Structures are given as C-alpha cells and as structure tokens.
Homo-oligomer: A and B are copies of this chain.
Amino acid sequence: MAIQEGDFVRLNFTGKIKETDEVFDTTSEDIAKEADILVEDKVYGPIPIIVGGNHLLKAIDNAIIGTEAGEAIHVSVNPENGFGQRNPNLIQLIPMKEFKKQGMAPVRGMKITSDNGTGKIISVDGGRVKVDFNHELAGKNLEYDVSVVEVIDEDEEKIKSMIELHYSYPNMDLDKTEIKIDGDKVSIKLDEITRFDQKSYMDVTFARFRISKDIWDNMGYEKVEFVDEFEKKVEEDPEGESEE
C-alpha cells in the first residue's frame, strides 16, 4: 500500500552535497565508514520517523508519500527547501584577544560556540579571526537516497518507535517497555534501567514531551503517562535452603 502522510515508518537514507558528492549524513555504518564520518557510539541502521511529522526535511517527506516500502527514492533538495541560503552577515570577524581571554588558540577549521550558535573558523589572519556562523549545509544543493524499509502498523510498535527516536539510554531494552492503552490514554513503563539515567530530570521530561506530542498528533490519544513503579521486594530465601 502506498505510504501516506501520518504513517510511522523506518527508513534508510544517505545525504550528499551535490556539488562535491560528499556524504554528510547516513544511516548506514558502511557508507559512514567509507565517507570517514563514522560517529563513535552512534547506532546505525534504519531510523523511525513519522511521514509529515517534521522529523526530516519537508522535501523528503513529500517524496516518500505515495511510494511503496522497499522502493529506492532519490530526492534533490535545493537550498530553499534545505538549509537556506548562505547569509553573508553570519560571517563575522572576531578579534584574536577575545579568544586569548578564554585561553583558546584559534585554528582554521575549528568549531566554536557562541551566542550566535555554532560557527567554523575559516581564517586566522594576524589579530582577526573570521568565523562563519552559517549552517554548514546552507547554500548547498543536496541529494538524498531514501528507502523506506518498513511501515509500522501496530500501535504499540508505533509508540516504541517514538521512544527509540526521542529517548536514548545505553543498554535500554525496548522489549522491556510496557505499554498499556486504555481509552484515550497511553501508559508507558520504560525498562527499569532508565531510572538510573544520569541526565537531568528536565532533559528526560523534554524527551517525554516530544514522544507524547508525536503520539497526540498522529495517533489520536489525548494523554500519555510515564510510570515508574516501585514494588516491595519479598525477602527471598537465597538458596532455597528452607526446602531442606
């Protein structure tokens, strides 16, 4: 069946810059290795998204709609539909002394973060450092190869896919997620290991909000609750010795 807006899918993609054929992002570990952009600890493989759910560029969502799972899709994205045109005002000259104040030695290619966002040093010339705060893909024509590998049908699997997309915790087992649906309410108990997350409670709340919003907006449920249950442990006879 043709893929529609609102479908939950898993897909592979690889994005290249048209002009240079340079791969800037991919779900494939092999392609990442080949392009020398492998990210340590990143889990490669198909990612779950909602078609039209603002998880990808709109141009990619639009290209997927109407295709079938398994079809190889090619999408060309111009700067307007991608990451915008380059803005010359976002190239700034920063006095060398500002870097020295912070104990930094600026070098060409170095990335820095300031109130203006993240920028890349494009030249160091005597006392002045030129930094480009444009998005690295601004002004570029992009080429994406996309392939939907699966359309997710079951509500439980849809919910798990959004947990996978928005909340990561090392060694979390999604199969240990308990999901109960009762009327307009979804109740989620995550794998107990996630209780030991060292991220702030607030950061976890933001991830939960994103999961909840995708569920409200695309599955019709009005309430999403996250439950941590603490159950009294019965003192166990460690070796079953009382049986003797």
Chain A residues engaging chain B, CB cutoff 8 angstroms: 194-202, 204-205, 208-209, 212-213, 216, 222-232
Most B-side CB within 10 Å, residue of A208, A222, A227, A228: A228
17 of the cross-chain contacts (CB-CB < 8 Å) are A194-B201, A195-B201, A196-B201, A197-B201, A197-B202, A198-B201, A200-B201, A201-B201, A213-B230, A222-B232, A223-B229, A223-B231, A224-B229, A224-B230, A225-B227, A225-B229, A226-B230
Known contacts A205-B228, A223-B230, then 15 further A-B pairs from the complex at CB < 8 Å, ordered by chain A residue: A194-B201, A196-B201, A197-B200, A199-B200, A199-B201, A201-B201, A201-B204, A208-B228, A212-B230, A222-B232, A223-B231, A224-B229, A225-B227, A226-B228, A226-B230
CA gap between A200 and B196 in the complex, in Å: 8
Chain B positions within 8 Å of A196 at CB level: 201-202, 205
Copies in the complex: 2
- Cβ-defined contact, A232 with B223, below 8 A: yes
CA gap between A196 and B198 in the complex, in Å: 14
Chain B positions within 8 Å of A202 at CB level: 195-198
